[in-house]
Amino acid sequence: MKKFINEIDAVMRESLGGMVAAHPELLRVEFEPTFIARVQRASKKVALLSGGGSGHEPLHAGFVGRGMLDAACPGQVFTSPTPDQMLAAAEAVHADRGVLFIVKNYAGDSMNFQMASEMLEIENATVLVNDDVAVENSTHTTGRRGVAGTLMVEKMVGAAAERGATLMECKAVGDRVNAATASMGVAFTSCTVPAAGRATFDIGDDEIEVGVGIHGEPGRRREKIKPASRIVEDLLGAIVGDLKPERGSEVLLHVNGFGGTPQMELYLLYHCAAEQLRAQGFKPVRSLVGNYTTSLEMAGASLTVTVLDEELKSLWDAPVHTAALHW
């Protein structure tokens, strides 16, 4: 295993320390228990809190800041954070208007966030994100997995909270974005969790895993590599089949790299996906292309489509200032 690390046990502390050192105007970190929060506690708004296993960076800590999250709780790599992290973060950032937890649907995350929700003595609610249309139930999940569409939920709810929406209004926006969003990905290679020291799964030199999860969980099928446009056909077929947008719908198209795929290929995927969506009568009017919900150094990518309306478009366009998204 070749990685830029010193000791396995110090990876999280040194990486989060580096992130905060690189963005001192934006972020602060606590370590006992661990969470990342905005340097300036927001006032008069619902506090938005997310978290999950590390190894998916910039998700979630890269989305802490004005217009998105108030705090993020990173677990160990591919391991859920614990309720004490969520409680400490919620108490540190809330502003007497309630706390909304945004949770990717994995058994560990959903159980731990539920415990935190019950223990927290502040009004709170939860949005469960389950945008991955690849499979029902999976290695770590009952129901559908939450993947790259989580970014859309965090961005749009973040804008609503900044505009003064109540806790229940924020939850309603989050549930609505989740329902309007679907994703599916494909892996070319595995990734290596530092503490494991070996590849999470094996895959042949000419094979791809269609519908892979962001921890390397199996997808729908293993098949031979094929042209990008045909991979995109498969992914969009599943996504559009799930969302069933009306003809003429405006959509946000997100091409998400898993960490090890060059930008040249991600934009090539965008080209194929946008053309196919247009050919089916949809209008990709907003885009996001890059590594946002990663699986360490996995080569591969996912497509996410969010069906837009005027409100969601305006929430997407609203200003955001975080380490990973800034406009």
By CB under 8 A, is residue 263 in contact with a second copy?
A: yes
Between 77 and 89, whose beta carbon lies closer to a second copy? 77
Continuous H helices in 96-226: 107-119, 149-162, 167-179
d(C-alpha 2, C-alpha 290), whole Å:
24
23/171 with CB nearer a second copy: 23
Considering beta carbons, is residue 175 or 250 the nearer one to a second copy?
Answer: 250
Position among 32, 118, 202, 205 found at the interface with a second copy (CB under 8 A):
205
Q: Does 268 help bind a second copy (rule: CB under 8 A)?
A: yes
Nearer of residues 175 and 233 to a second copy, judged by Cβ? 233
Q: Which stretch binds a second copy (CB under 8 A): 5-13, 31-39, 42-50, 128-136?
A: 5-13
Question: Should residue 274 be labelled a site residue for a second copy when binding is judged by CB under 8 A?
Answer: yes
Q: Say whether residue 16 binds a second copy (CB under 8 A).
A: yes
Interaxial angle between packed helices 310-317 and 167-179, expressed in degrees from 0 to 180 and rounded to the nearest 10: 110
* 309 in contact with a second copy (CB under 8 A): no
- Contact status, residue 245 vs residue 282, Cβ threshold 8 Å: yes
Partners of 208 in the beta sheet? Answer: 223
Residue 59 CB, shortest distance to a second copy, in Å, is 10
Nearest residue (CB) to a second copy, 153 versus 301: 301
Out of 3, 9, 139, 179, the only residue in the binding site for a second copy (CB under 8 A) is: 3
Beta sheet of 300-307, edge-to-edge order: 221-224, 207-210, 181-187, 300-307, 250-257, 283-290
| Range 47-86, binding a second copy (CB under 8 A) | 54-55, 57-58, 62, 77
Does 111 engage in binding with a second copy (CB under 8 A)?
no
Q: Does 301 bind a second copy (CB under 8 A)?
A: yes
Nearest residue to 105 via CA among 74, 69, 137, 81: 137
Q: Edge-to-edge strand order for the sheet containing 47-54? A: 27-31, 34-38, 71-77, 47-54, 99-104, 124-129
CB of 191 to a second copy, least distance (A): 8
- Contact between 297 and 191 (Cβ < 8 Å): yes
Residue type, 114: Q
Q: Which is nearer to a second copy, 3 or 221 (CB)?
A: 3
Q: Please report how close the Cβ of residue 269 comes to a second copy at its closest, in angstroms.
A: 5
Q: How many angstroms separate the CA atoms of 216 and 136, rounded?
A: 16
Q: How many alpha carbons fall within 13 Å on the CB side of residue 161?
A: 34
Our finding on whether 272 is near a second copy (CB under 8 A) is yes
Q: What is residue 107's three-state secondary structure?
A: helix
Helices (H), the chain: 11-22, 83-93, 107-119, 149-162, 167-179, 228-243, 263-279, 310-317
In the complex, least distance from residue 127 CB atom to a second copy, rounded to whole angstroms: 25
Residues noted as catalytic:
56, 215
Q: Give me the residues that bind a second copy (CB under 8 A), please.
A: 2-7, 11, 14-19, 21-23, 54-55, 57-58, 62, 77, 188-189, 205-206, 208, 225, 227-229, 231, 255, 259-272, 274, 284, 287-289, 291, 294, 296-297, 299, 301, 326-327
